[in-house]
Amino acid sequence: MQKNTRLILALDVLDSDEALRISGDVAGYVDAIKVGYPLILATGLGIITELSKYAPIIADFKVADIPNTNRLICEQVFRAGADAVIIQGFTGHDSLRTCVELAKSSNKDVFVVTEMSHPGALDFMQAAGEAIAKMAADEKASGVVAPATRPERVREIRKIIGNKLTIISPGVGAQGGSASDAIKAGADWVIVGRSIYQAEEPAKAAADIVAYIKTVI
Ligand code: 3DU
């Protein structure tokens, strides 16, 4: 994944024609497209292959199972053409290690969720966030997913993982986070969904975010 615009589109629409149209419109403004359960359950895993002509694809399955099941899931995701997969960190070292080993052998990336961006992440997840970030670094994941809604946590997680891992950061726009604050706090990329795909002109919305990011780098 090339660090160029520093914007990742979260494509949580439910229709394949719409997904392809929006991807074509915004392709010049995004470094990757993140797809997850909503689009894939609605249209099928083949949508990954179709979208991969526009940008690298991150499959956000938040994989959270025993090592063997994690491996089976990641195999399918990579076979479909995804360049990266997002997994949950709370399942521990062995579950993560299995994904990282598979990814490295196929030249793919694994991003590990430390703590999520919504308010409920404070109930249980945040307490484990720093330990998960350390684990992601120890297990040599490609990067972590950290919340743009809490830039101070992005900053803390950056300190823990150093500069070898990247940070992708959701929560910008609809969830209240700011793209520039997340980037200033140490995120490599921001992930934006509704503020782009629900906009009247998705390409303009994406271009505006990219321009905003450029003011702080
Ligand atoms: O709130 P948005 O519409 O910009 O979409 C954010 C996307 O990022 C969405 O796909 C959501 O499932 C994902 N995500 C988070 O919002 C927060 C996380 O901690 C991890 C992933």
Mean pLDDT of 167-177: 98
Which member of 3, 34, 53, 62 is catalytic? 62
pLDDT tens-digit profile of 54-86? 999 999 999 999 999 999 999 999 999 999 999
d(CA 184, CA 214): 11
Mean pLDDT of 43-58: 98
d(CA 14, CA 93): 34
Mean pLDDT of 88-98: 98
Mean pLDDT of 13-32: 98
Residues with CB under 6 A from ligand 1: 10, 12, 36, 60, 113, 116-117, 145, 147, 170-171, 173-175, 191-195
**In sequence order, which residues have a C-beta less than 8 Å from that of residue 68 and are 6 or more positions away?**
98
Percent of the chain whose pLDDT exceeds 90: 99
Q: How confident is the model at residue 7 (pLDDT cuts 50, 70, 90)?
A: very high
What's the confidence (pLDDT) of residue 31? 98
Q: How deeply is 71 buried, as exposed, middle or buried, from its count of CB atoms within 10 A (0-12, 13-18, 19+)?
A: middle
| Residue 63 zone, left/alpha/beta (φ > 0; ψ -120 to 50; rest) | beta
What's the confidence (pLDDT) of residue 146? 98
For atom 10 of ligand 1, which residue has the closest CA? Answer: 10
The model's pTM: 0.98
